[in-house]
């Protein structure tokens, strides 16, 4: 079963989101991040963001979680407010 790492960030300005978008679109990822999908949601008015990172199995999640948790503050969208792990119960694309 796939797993999701869902992180809430605060103090996320539009310039940081633009920089992250460029990095992700250029294929830049942290080393040892075996994610199958990355989605960043941004609320510009609240300056908050939600990162949803999908992993196909527990081992990938564990490796990815360790990598992401060790990232320096300057490499994340803003201040981490919460980190949660979810089972992906339903997954569909249009």
pLDDT at 27: 80
Q: What is the CATH number of the domain that holds 63?
A: 3.30.70
Torsion of CA 32, 87, 83, 67, to 10 degrees: -10
Q: What domain range includes position 45?
A: 3-87
Count of structural domains within the chain: 1
The rounded distance, in Å, linking the Cα atoms of 77 and 2 is 24
Q: What are 1-47's pLDDT values in tens digits?
A: 899 999 999 999 999 999 888 888 888 777 789 999 999 999 999 99
- Whether 15 is covered by a domain: the verdict is yes
pLDDT at 26: 87
Strand order of the β-sheet with 3-10 is 37-43, 48-55, 3-10, 79-87
């Amino acid at each position: 079963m796939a797993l999701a790492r869902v992180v809430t960030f605060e103090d996320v300005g539009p310039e940081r989101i633009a920089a992250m978008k460029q990095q992700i679109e250029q294929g830049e990822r942290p080393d040892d991040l075996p994610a199958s999908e990355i989605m960043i949601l941004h609320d510009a008015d609240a300056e908050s963001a939600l990162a949803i990172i999908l992993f196909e199995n527990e081992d990938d999640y564990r490796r990815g979680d360790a990598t992401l948790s060790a990232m320096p503050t300057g490499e994340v969208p803003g201040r981490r407010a919460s980190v949660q792990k979810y089972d992906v119960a339903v997954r569909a694309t249009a």
